[in-house]
Structure 1
Amino acid sequence: MSVNHKRTTLALAVLASLSSSVFAQQNTEETEEKQDYETILVTAAPAGVEAQEASVSVSTLVPDNIFKLAPRSTAEVFRALPGVRAESSGGGGNANITIRGIPLATGGSKFMQLHEDGLPVLEFGDINFGNADNFLRYDWSVGSIQSVRGGSASTFASNSPGGVINMISKTGEFGGGAIGTSFGLDYEEFRLDFSYGGEINDDLYFHLGGFARGGEGTRDTGYNGDQGGQVKFNITQVLDNGHVRFYFKNLDDRVTTYLPAPVRVNSNGDYGPVENFDASSQTLHSAYTTNVSTFDSFGNPKNRDLTDGIESNVTSFGFEVDLEVAPELILVNRFRTSKVSGSFISPFTDTFGAYGPQSASNMASAICDSALDGDGNGFNCASTSVTLANGPNSGSEYNGLAFLNLLFDTSLNDLGNLINDLNLTKQFDNGVTVTAGYYYSKQDIAASWNSWNTFIQTVDGTNSQYLHIEDADGRALVNNGLWAPSFLSWEWDLNYTTTAPYINLGFELGDDWLFDVSARRDSVKANGELINSCCGGNTDFDLNGDGIIDGNSEDASASNGFGFGGGVINLNRAGAASQIIDYEASNTSFSLGGSYLYSDDITMFARYSEGGRALADRLLQIAGTLNSDGSLTSTTSGFDETKQLELGVKYGTRDFMLNGTFFSTVTQDTQAEVTSGLTFIREYEAIGIELEGRYNFGNGFSIIGNGTWTDAEISKDQFNQALVGKTPRRQADFIYTITPQYESDNFVVGASLQGSTEYFVQDSNELKQDAYNIINLFATYYISDAFSVSLNVNNASDEFVITESEESNAAIGDIIRARPLNGRTSSIQLKYEF
C-alpha cells in the first residue's frame, strides 16, 4: 500500500486543529455520502487523516441517524455515541455526561468537553448550574457530530482528558436547504427548523440555520416552559491558499429542568410513580407557583419567575483562518468571543432530615415539634392544621402527600468567554510533520445564588399548590407555603485565564506505520471571590420592608438544626463569609500513539495518554484546598488527572464496519456536590471494551450499533475508606445502542434500542436501578423527493427508569428522591427539502 496517496497531508500534518477540532468543515451532504471508514478525522486528534487510520477512537453521527434516536434533548443525541454515558433525565439541559468509566460524581461534563465548530462552548463543563450543554442546541444547522474518546484529547484540547464531542456546522459549500415543523402528539410542543446554504459566487458561500419552538415540553408543567430558539450563520471566503470563515450564533432559549422528585420504591431496582404524581411524565412545577418574591445574594428584594427554568442566552462571533502561508506551511487560527448569561430555577425535593415527602399531617407535626419563633420559643403542637394556600380550593383542608421544596434559584450573570487557538504545521518531504500552537482562553464565572426559598407544597403532577400550616393556637408554622425565606445566599465572581502552548510530531515508518507524539502545557490563572452565607437563622426580619414585623413579614418558621425560624440573617454582605482565589496552577499532558495499516480494510492502533482538568468554581466548596489569601494548599495541585491506555482494531468496508477498543483509565477527582453537600478527593480505575459496528444486509435492511463494557471501581478515597473497592455511582457494566432499519424507495422504518445493565445509584452500592431497554421507533414516508412526513416515538414501552437518586438505600414502599428518564413521547414532523 502506498502511504503517500493517503497521507501526504497526514495532518499530524494539519494538526492544525490540535487543540480544537475542525480542520475541514464537513457538510451534511458531503458527510452522509461517505461511509464511516472514509470519514476524515477533524476532532481532537491528528487532523486530515481518515478515521480508519487514526490511532484514536472516533465516531461520527449525521442528521439522518440522529433523527432515528427520537432525541428530546441534545444529551439524548450524545447518548448514542460509543462509550458515552449521557444522563438526559434533566430535560432540555442540565445533563450529566461522561465516558469510559471516568466518574460522574456530580453534574455536568467535567472530563469531557463539548465543542462547537472546534472550540469549547465553556472552558469548564461542570460549572455549578452552568453545564456546557445548557448553552448548546442540536438543530439542522449541524452537519455532523464527531466524538473522540480518550487518548489525544488530552493534548489536543484543554480540560478534556476524557474526550471531546464536537458539533460541526454546515457551511453551505454544497447548496440547498430544508424547512420543517414538528408537533408533539402526546406532549405540548411546536417546533420549526430551517437550514439553507449555497454559493454567493464561485469563491464565496454561506449557511444559515436554526430553530424556534414553544410549548410545555415533554412533561406537564401547566405553562409554556420550553420557549425560544437559535440562529446560526457563517460565511466562507475561499482564497488561492486556503479560506477565511466568519460565524455568528444567537441562542435565546428557555427549557424546564427536572430535578430529583418523589419516586416510589417497588423493589430494590424497580421504581414507579407515587400517588397523584408520575415523575417520568409530570413535574412539581405549577402554574400556581411561578412567581416568587425573594432576595438577591445581597439582600435586595427580587422577583423570580419559575417559567424561566434554564434560561440560556448566548451571542457569539468568531472566525477561522486556514491558509498555506508558505510552501508546506499551514496556519490555522480559530477565534470566538461569546457573551453567555442566563438563569437556573427549579423545585428540588429536599428533606432537611425529617421532612422528606410524606403525608401533610405528618409533615406539619414534624415541623411543629422542632419549630421556634423569632424569640426562640416553641409552638403549641397539641394539634396542627394544613390547608391549601392558593389555587381554586384555597382554604380547604389537605392531607395528601406534601414535599419540602428547596427552590434552586441562580442567576448566571456572566459565563462569557474569549477563546483563540493558533497553530502552524510544517510538513517535510520525509513524511515528518511538526505542529506547534498556542491556545488562550478567558472564562468568566459570575453567578448569584439568590436567597433560596423553602416552601411546603402538595405533591401533585398537574398543579402543585402551596400549603399553609398552623399550630393549635392558630400561629403560622408555614405561612402561605413559605417555610423559610432564605436558605442561602452566595455571590460568585471568578475569572480563569488558560494558556497552553502545544506541539505535535508525526512521522511514518515504511508504508504501513504511522506514529505521533504530542505534549501540552496548560497554565491556569484564577482570581476572584465567593461571598457566601448559609442556612437561615431564627431572628425576626422585616420581609416587606414596611418597618413593622408582623403577619406575613415575620415568617415564624421551623428551626431544625439549620436554624430556620422567622429570620434571614444571611441576606447582607457584612454578615457573610468571603473566600478569594488568587493562584496559578499548571499541568503537562502528553500523548503517544501509533497505527499499523495491516490492509486497506484493517488498522490496529495503540495509544497512551496523560491529561489534566483544571479545577474551577467547585474548588471553592471543598474545605482545606484554599488558603485565606486565595492560594492553593498542599491538598490539591489545582488539576485532576486522567491516565489512559488504549488498544484497538478497526475493520471497515463499504457494507461492513466493526471497531473494537480496549481501554484502561485511572482518574483523580476533586469534587463538591450541591444537593448533598458532599465533598471528596478520590481516585477511580476502570477497564473496558468499546464496540461499534455497521452492516448493510442488502435489500434495504441495515443495522448500526455500539456497546461498551466497563469494570470500574473507587480505588482511593481521602475521606471515606469504606468506599474503596465500590463501583462508582450510576456506572453500569454494559451500555448499548442498536438501530436496525428497513429502507425502500418511498419510506424508512426502524427502531433504536438503547439500554443498560443494572447499576448502583450511589457509591455505597446499596440501592440500584435494574437493567432496562428503551425502545425508540421511527418512520419516514417520502410523499415526493422533496417532501416527507416522519413519526418518532421515544421510550415506546413507557419504561420507568431512574438515572440518579439522592437516597443510597430504601425499603420497599419507601419514597425516594430521584430523576427518571422521560416516559413515552411521540412527535410528527413535516419536512420540505430544496
Structure 2
Amino acid sequence: MTGGIRFLACSLIALSTAAAAQQAAPKTDESKAPAQDAPQDIVVTAVSRGQNLLKSAVSVSSLSADAIAQSAPRSTAELFRNIPGIRAEASGGEGNANISVRGLPVASGGAKFLQLQEDGLPVLEFGDITFGNADIFLRADTNIARIEAVRGGSASTFASNSPGGVINFLSKTGETQGGAVQAGIGLNYGEYRFDGDYGGKLSETVRFHVGGFYRQGEGPRRAGYDGNKGGQIKANITKEFTGGYLRLYGKYLNDRAIAYMPNPVRVTGTDADPHYTDLPGFSITQDTLHSRYDTRNVTLDGDNRPATHDLRDGQHPLVKAVGLEGKLDLGAGWTATERFRYADISGRFITNFPSAVDRADATAVALGGAGATARYFNGPQAGQAVPGDAYLARVVVFDVSLNSLNNITNDFRLNRSFQLGGGALDVTLGFYKSRQTINTDWLWTSTLLAVQGGGRAALVDVRNAAGTPVTENGYYAYSATYFGDCCRRSYRLHYNVNAPFASFSWNLNALTLDASLRYDFGNARGRIAGADLGGGRVGVQSFDINGDGTISAPETRVAVLPLGSAAPVHYNYDYLSYSFGVNYRLRDDLSVFGRYSRGARANADRLLFGPAVRTSDGGLADSSAAVDFVTQAEGGVKYRAGGIALYATGFYARTEEQNYEATQQRFLDRKYRSYGVELEGNVKRGIFQLSAGGTWTNAKITADPLTPAVVGNKPRRQADFTYQLAPELSWERVSLGASIVGTTDSYTQDANKLKLPGYTTVNAFVQVRPLERVQLSINANNLFDVKGFTEAEDATIPANGIVRARSINGRTVAAAVRLQF
C-alpha cells in the first residue's frame, strides 16, 4: 500500500511540476489569445445549463468514451472507481454495487445519497431500492459519449434525492458521422460480446444515433452455466431548428447477469491483522456459490401459489423506455428546456446468499441434531456421504420478483439572462415531477449447498440419527428459516415527487456568485404485506409444495404472505434544499471556488417494516424519519491549460441516516461526519498521457441511539485513502496503458474490529491499428489477480475462521477487433 500511495503522490507532484513548467514558458502570440472553451470544459450535469468548468463552483469529473474502453471495466460500477471521491464496491457483478461519495455512508446497499442518470434524468428515483439498485438497470456500451460526475454542491438543488452527487451517462446524438462494430471474446473466461453503433445526419437539420450490444457467456466467475446473457439497444433522433431542438429517444434492455454475494473465505491471524486465504477447492476471486446443479428455486409466489423460478436469471432487468428532450427560444430572452421519460421496468433478482458456512459434520448436527449425517442430493456424487471436513453453506435464496419499478419523470426549466450591477444575472426557474412504483415480492427459501468451485457445487440433504429426512432435495425450508423466518414480503407502493426549483447566477468579469433553492414535497401511497409486520400476521405454516399428498419436514416450514392483513402506507413529506457558491477566476487558466449546501434524501422502501411507519394507518410514527439531510461545505482550486489540468478540493459533510439492511436484518438511525481532500489531475505531453486522482477521507459516526457503542467509530468499509492512476502511451499505430485503482484498509462493520485489507488492482490494455479503420485490442482486468475485499458480513473472525466476504473478480483477459466506418 505504501508503494501505491508513493506512486500517486509522485504522479501528482509530476503533474504540478509540469504545470509550473508550462506557466514559466515564454508566451507566444497564440498564448495571448482569449482562452476558448473545449467541449470537455463544459459542465451539463446538475447545473442550470451548460457552464464552463473554470467559471462554475462545482466539483466535476468526466470520463470520455476512450477512457471508459481503456479502463477495461467488467461492470458499470468498475467505471465509477476511476472517479475521485466516488467509492464503488465493484464486487457484485454487472449491478447491485454499493456506491457512495466523499465519506457519505453505505449503511445498507445501493446508492442512497448519489443519483445515477441517463441523459439528465434518473434511472430510478431512488438509487437504493432493496434488490432494485439503480445500477442494475444501467449498462455502459458504445452509445456513451462521456460520463460526468458532480460531487456535492449543486447536486442538492438540481436533482431530487441526490445530495451527495450525480453520475450522468451522456449518450451520443449523431454529431459525428459514422460508427463502429466490435466483437470481443474472453480469453480466460466465458464471454462473447458484440457492440455496434452508428450516427450522423439525415438532413441539414436532422441527425440520429443508434447502438447497442449483445453478450453471452459464463461471466468472470466459474458458475457452470451461462450466467451473463442479454443486451441493449438505444436510439435517438434530433431535429434542430432556429432557437432550439427536439430529440426523441428510446431504450430496450433485456439482460441477465449473476449477482455475486459474499462467499466463504478462511481468515487467520487477528481482527487487526487478518490473513485471508481460499478454502480448499474454492477461489474467493474466481468462484461463486452458483452451480449447474442448483438452477431452480421452488417457492410460493406473490399470490401464495407454488412456483418455480430460474436461479440463472440472476439480475434480470427488463427496461422499455421512451423519452423526449427539447429546447425552445420563447422570445424576450426566455429559453425553455424540457426533459421527459417513461420507463417500463420489471424483472427479477435471484441469487444465493450464505447465512452460515461450516464443516459438513457440524452443519449436519446443527440442522438434524446429534448423529445427523449429510449426503449429496445431486451432481456426480449423488447419494454419497459428504466428508465431514468438507464445507457446506446454509443458503438463503434471495428470490425477488420485480413486478414493476416503473418510473415516469419530467424536468421543465425556464432560463433568461439579465444585466444587473454591471454583470450578467442568469435566472433559471423549473419544476420537477416524478412517480416511482415499487411493486416487488420477496420469495426467499433456505437450501443447503456444498462449497465447491468450478460451478460444480451440489445440493445436500441431511438425515437425523433415526434416518428421518430433515431436508428434501436440498431444501431445508420454503422460507428464510436461516434468517429466523423473516422477510416474506410484498410491496405495492407508489412514490410521488414534486420539486419547484430556482437558480440565480451572477457573473461580473472574473467573479461568479450563485444561489439555488429546491423545495421537494411528495407522498408515499400503497400497501405492504409480510409476516414481520407483527400484529399476529401469518408467517410460516405447513403446505404441500410438491403436491404429493404428504408433508415433508421442509414443507412444515413454508412462508406465506398474509395478503388478507396487509398494512397501508400513507404519508406525506417535504423538505427544502439550498446551495450557495462563489467562483473567482484568477486567470483564464486558474480559478478558486467555495460552496455551502444543504440537501436531503427522501427514504423509500427501506423505511418500511420498522418503527418509523405505523401499520395501523400508514402514517409516520416519527415525522423526521421520512427525510435524511446532508449539509456540506467545499472549497478548492482549479487549473487547466496547455494539456494540463489540476484540481484540489477540500470537503466537509454532516449526514443523517435511517435505513434497513436486509442481510443483517437491522434498522439504523445514525448521524455521521466526514471531511477530507480530493486531488485530481491529468497531463498530456506528446505520446504520453497521465490521469491521477486521490481522495483522503476522515469519517466517523457521531450519534446512534440504537447502538451507542459505535459512536466515534469509522463507518464500515470506509477507507482513509483511495486513488486512481491511468498512464497511457499512444503512437499512430499502437496505444498501451493501464488503469490502477487502490484503497487502504477499512473495517468490515461499524464495530471497527475485523479489517478489510487495502489493495491495489491494475487493469491494462494494448491497442494496435494495422489499418486506418481497424483496431485490434487486448485488455486485462485485475492483471495481477489480487484479492480485493470490499465487504464482509462478519464483524469479527468467527470461531471456525470462516468469514463471508465479497472480493473483486480475479484476473480476466479479453480481446476484441473493432471496425470503424
Query: Distance between the aligned counterparts of 1:672 and 1:586, measured in 2?
Result: 21
One-letter code aligned to 1:125: G
Equivalent residue, structure 2, for 1:441? 434
Query: Distance between the aligned counterparts of 2:542 and 2:419, measured in 1?
Result: 80
Post-superposition offset of 1:791? 1.0
SS of the aligned residue for 1:477 comes to coil
Deviations 1:564-618 (A, max 9, x none): x8232635534xx533210110000000001001001101000000001001001
Equivalent residue, structure 2, for 1:176? 178
Equivalent residue, structure 2, for 1:295? 300
Equivalent residue, structure 2, for 1:814? 801
Q: Contact conserved, 2:762 with 2:782, CA < 8 A, in 1?
A: yes
Residue 596 (structure 1) aligned with residue 581 (structure 2) = no
Residue 459 (structure 1) aligned with residue 454 (structure 2) = no
Residue 744 (structure 1) aligned with residue 744 (structure 2) = no
Post-superposition offset of 1:826? 0.7
Residue 555 (structure 1) aligned with residue 552 (structure 2) = yes
Equivalent residue, structure 1, for 2:753? 766
Equivalent residue, structure 2, for 1:716? 703
Equivalent residue, structure 2, for 1:225? 227
Post-superposition offset of 1:478? 1.7
Q: Structure 2, unaligned stretches of length 5 or more?
A: 1-35, 481-486
One-letter code aligned to 1:439: Y
Post-superposition offset of 1:68? 2.1
Equivalent residue, structure 2, for 1:25? none
CA 1:327 to 1:654, structure 2 compared with 1: closer, same or farther past 3 Å? farther
CA 1:539 to 1:435, structure 2 compared with 1: closer, same or farther past 3 Å? closer
Deviations 1:23-75 (A, max 9, x none): xxxxxxxxxxx997952110002422211221000111001111221100011
Query: Distance between the aligned counterparts of 1:454 and 1:811, measured in 2?
Result: 22
Equivalent residue, structure 1, for 2:341? 336
Residue 359 (structure 1) aligned with residue 359 (structure 2) = yes
Query: Distance between the aligned counterparts of 2:568 and 2:189, measured in 1?
Result: 46
One-letter code aligned to 2:635: L
Equivalent residue, structure 2, for 1:493? 492
SS of the aligned residue for 1:258 comes to coil
Q: Contact conserved, 1:38 with 1:50, CA < 8 A, in 2?
A: no
Residue 419 (structure 1) aligned with residue 419 (structure 2) = no
One-letter code aligned to 2:202: I
Equivalent residue, structure 2, for 1:15? none
Equivalent residue, structure 1, for 2:556? 566
Query: Distance between the aligned counterparts of 1:224 and 1:528, measured in 2?
Result: 38
One-letter code aligned to 1:531: A
One-letter code aligned to 1:167: F
Post-superposition offset of 1:654? 2.3
Equivalent residue, structure 2, for 1:212? 214
Post-superposition offset of 1:722? 0.8
Match for residue 645 of structure 2 among 641, 657, 663 = 657
One-letter code aligned to 1:392: P
Equivalent residue, structure 2, for 1:88? 90
Query: CA RMSD for the aligned pairs?
Result: 1.7
Q: Contact conserved, 2:539 with 2:561, CA < 8 A, in 1?
A: no
Post-superposition offset of 1:813? 7.0
* Stretch deviating more after TM superposition (132-141 or 788-797): 788-797
One-letter code aligned to 1:527: R
Query: Distance between the aligned counterparts of 1:832 and 1:642, measured in 2?
Result: 47
Equivalent residue, structure 2, for 1:123? 125
Residue 133 (structure 1) aligned with residue 135 (structure 2) = yes
Query: Distance between the aligned counterparts of 1:230 and 1:802, measured in 2?
Result: 30
Q: Structure 1, unaligned stretches of length 5 or more?
A: 1-33, 351-355, 370-380, 558-564
CA 1:35 to 1:826, structure 2 compared with 1: closer, same or farther past 3 Å? farther
The residue correspondences of 1:267-666 to structure 2 (distance < 5 A) are: 267=269, 268-350=273-355, 356-369=356-369, 381=370, 383-399=371-387, 400-430=390-420, 431-450=424-443, 452-462=444-454, 463-487=456-480, 488-509=487-508, 511-533=509-531, 540-546=542-548, 548-549=549-550, 554-557=551-554, 566-568=556-558, 570-574=560-564, 578-626=566-614, 628-634=616-622, 636-666=624-654
Q: Contact conserved, 1:622 with 1:671, CA < 8 A, in 2?
A: no
Q: Contact conserved, 2:479 with 2:540, CA < 8 A, in 1?
A: no
CA 1:279 to 1:697, structure 2 compared with 1: closer, same or farther past 3 Å? same
Deviations 1:529-560 (A, max 9, x none): 110025997754322335x22xxxx2325xxx
Q: Contact conserved, 1:414 with 1:446, CA < 8 A, in 2?
A: yes
Query: Distance between the aligned counterparts of 2:209 and 2:394, measured in 1?
Result: 49
Query: Distance between the aligned counterparts of 1:732 and 1:702, measured in 2?
Result: 28
Q: Contact conserved, 2:625 with 2:658, CA < 8 A, in 1?
A: no
Between the aligned residues of both structures, percent identity stands at 41
Post-superposition offset of 1:635? 5.5
Post-superposition offset of 1:290? 0.4
Query: Distance between the aligned counterparts of 2:344 and 2:385, measured in 1?
Result: 49
Equivalent residue, structure 2, for 1:24? none
Query: Distance between the aligned counterparts of 1:226 and 1:833, measured in 2?
Result: 27
Q: Contact conserved, 2:541 with 2:557, CA < 8 A, in 1?
A: yes
Equivalent residue, structure 2, for 1:695? 683
Equivalent residue, structure 2, for 1:196? 198
Post-superposition offset of 1:96? 0.6
Post-superposition offset of 1:627? 5.4
Equivalent residue, structure 1, for 2:158? 156
Query: Distance between the aligned counterparts of 1:300 and 1:313, measured in 2?
Result: 24
Residue 828 (structure 1) aligned with residue 815 (structure 2) = yes
SS of the aligned residue for 2:494 comes to strand
Post-superposition offset of 1:655? 2.0
Deviations 1:374-425 (A, max 9, x none): xxxxxxx3x2222111112211111211110110000000000111111100
SS of the aligned residue for 1:598 comes to strand
Q: Contact conserved, 2:541 with 2:560, CA < 8 A, in 1?
A: no
Q: Contact conserved, 1:37 with 1:50, CA < 8 A, in 2?
A: no
SS of the aligned residue for 1:478 comes to coil
SS of the aligned residue for 2:709 comes to helix
Equivalent residue, structure 1, for 2:240? 238
Query: Distance between the aligned counterparts of 1:516 and 1:706, measured in 2?
Result: 27
Equivalent residue, structure 1, for 2:33? none
Query: Distance between the aligned counterparts of 1:105 and 1:35, measured in 2?
Result: 40
CA 1:401 to 1:44, structure 2 compared with 1: closer, same or farther past 3 Å? same
Query: Distance between the aligned counterparts of 1:365 and 1:38, measured in 2?
Result: 63
Query: Distance between the aligned counterparts of 2:141 and 2:450, measured in 1?
Result: 37
Q: Normalising by the residue count of structure 1, what TM-score does the alignment of the two structures yield? A: 0.90
Q: Contact conserved, 1:45 with 1:148, CA < 8 A, in 2?
A: no
Equivalent residue, structure 2, for 1:30? none
Post-superposition offset of 1:104? 0.7
Deviations 1:253-311 (A, max 9, x none): 01011011211114434323111111211111111110222111332011100110000
SS of the aligned residue for 2:67 comes to helix
CA 1:538 to 1:173, structure 2 compared with 1: closer, same or farther past 3 Å? closer
One-letter code aligned to 1:598: L
Query: Distance between the aligned counterparts of 1:536 and 1:71, measured in 2?
Result: 46
Q: Contact conserved, 1:280 with 1:823, CA < 8 A, in 2?
A: yes
* Stretch deviating more after TM superposition (781-790 or 627-636): 627-636
Post-superposition offset of 1:803? 0.6
SS of the aligned residue for 1:67 comes to helix
Q: Contact conserved, 1:38 with 1:52, CA < 8 A, in 2?
A: no
